[in-house]
Structure 1
Amino acid sequence: MSRLLWTLPALAAVTLLTSGVEAQNNEERAVIAAAQAVFDAMEALDPEAFRNAMVPDGFLMAVRSETTRRTTRDDFAANIARQTRPMIERMWDPEVRIDGPVATVWAPYDFYSATEFSHCGTDAFQLAKTADGWKVVMISYTSHAPPTCSMHPDGPPR
């Protein structure tokens, strides 16, 4: 009987811990999907999908050794509309941090214009949980050429 009394609370605790981890994993997947929506819009050359992936006053910040360049969401969407070749940006091994309605994604990336390699670096996404789900607030990124940064482990895009 005493064994049963100990086993039931232990099982309940394991169930609660497991469901908490699963909820966290689901939230992390949602955050990564929100960041990936930016890349999907770029590859599809879909400026409206790009706008929808970000908050209205969202922006991108290119960070180089000597300079930074800020681009608004709408200016970058206009740039997407002018492209004639898919903009393929791929991240891998994303690190996600979440605190309530705020999240970050930090990941290495590589970038291709269609099948032509351009550059690689690190993306740092800041996201906010809105009534419509996770939205990108800001993307800051570095831009390098190998060997300063790594190429995607799967090789060039197909």
Structure 2
Amino acid sequence: MAASAPAASAQSFGPAEDQKAVMAVVNRLFDGMRAGDSTMLRSVFDARVRMITSASRNGAPTLSVQQGADGFVKSVGTPRPEKIDERIRNERVHIDGDLASVWVDYGLFIGPKFSHCGIDHFLLVKSDGAWKILELADTRRMTNCEMWTK
């Protein structure tokens, strides 16, 4: 069943109440990053979470795959003078049963300073009535980021 999207360019498929619940989990992750709140961050992840990052170092592609969220939570879940602010646009939510996929464009800022941009892809699973992030994959780049730096 198709439903109205929150933004003109966004696409969403699945029950509207599940779309809202799924995006609430994603937004809670970003709220936890801004707050430097490790408890809030841990609350969004399934115990089996996998973290994947695709980036480029010195012109060579790199792929990092980690089981668990401990490294991520340690990195962004501590209060700091300049908050980590990940801003998202163009949310695409697709849901079928107890699986949900969210694809968003993002720009990351440390305090007021732009850091990088890319795509976040979330795979969420509904377990015991609650949505949790089972996989978080992202790309990181410094090019084609104009939508965030204008």
**If the length of structure 2 is used for normalisation, what is the TM-score?**
0.79
Percent identity of equivalent pairs: 27
Structure showing greater Rg:
1
Partner of 2:134: 137
Change (3 A) 1:95 1:77: same
- In 2, are the aligned partners of 1:123 and 1:139 still within 8 Å (CA)? yes
Partner of 1:98: 95
In the aligned structure 2, how far is the partner of 1:80 from the partner of 1:59? 16
Q: Does 1:56 align with 2:47?
A: yes
Compute the displacement of 1:26 (Å). Answer: 1.6
Q: Does 1:45 align with 2:36?
A: yes
What is the aligned residue count? 135
> 1:1-48 deviations in whole A, cap 9, x for unaligned?
xxxxxxxxxxxxxxxx9xx95981121111111111111111100011
Partner of 2:147: 151
Q: Does 1:109 align with 2:106?
A: yes
The structure 1 segments of at least 4 consecutive aligned residues displaced by more than 3 Å after TM superposition are 20-23
> 1:84-119 deviations in whole A, cap 9, x for unaligned?
231110111200110100000001000011111100
Compute the displacement of 1:69 (Å). Answer: 1.1
Higher helix residue share:
1
Change (3 A) 1:37 1:82: closer
Change (3 A) 1:21 1:144: closer
